[in-house]
Amino acid sequence: MDNTDIKQRFGLALKQRRRELGISQEELSFRAGLHRTYISDIERGSRNPSLENIDKLATALEISISALFAHYDIERGDNG
């Protein structure tokens, strides 16, 4: 596993999925019921979201939590 912090890996995965859907941070925040600056902080890896907020984000991104982690290699810290 590389040294990239899991918060940063999660943030990058969130950003990638959001961009795949073609939605803004503002739209994601609306869908998830979270503040836009909180979304920005997560994407930059400066926040450690709770499981409840990860669930809200996954739902808003139209993906399961498990698929979000598996598809974007969050737990491994690599891309394959």
DSSP state of 44: T
Q: Rounded to whole angstroms, how far apart are CA atoms 41 and 43?
A: 5
Tokens of 36: 């836009």
Residue range(s) defining the domain that contains residue 22: 6-71
Q: How many domains does the chain have?
A: 1
Q: Rounded to whole angstroms, how far apart are CA atoms 44 and 9?
A: 9
* Residue-level pLDDT at 4: 67
Q: Residue 72 pLDDT more than 70? A: yes
Domain assignment present for residue 77? The answer is: no
Domain assignment present for residue 41? The answer is: yes
- pLDDT tens-digit series, residues 8-34: 999 999 999 999 999 999 999 999 999
Residue pair 18/25 in contact (Cβ under 8 Å)? The answer is: yes
Domain assignment present for residue 33? The answer is: yes
- Mean pLDDT (the chain) is 90
Domain assignment present for residue 29? The answer is: yes
* Residue-level pLDDT at 70: 87
Decide: residue 38, CB within 10 A, 0-12 exposed, 13-18 middle, 19+ buried: middle
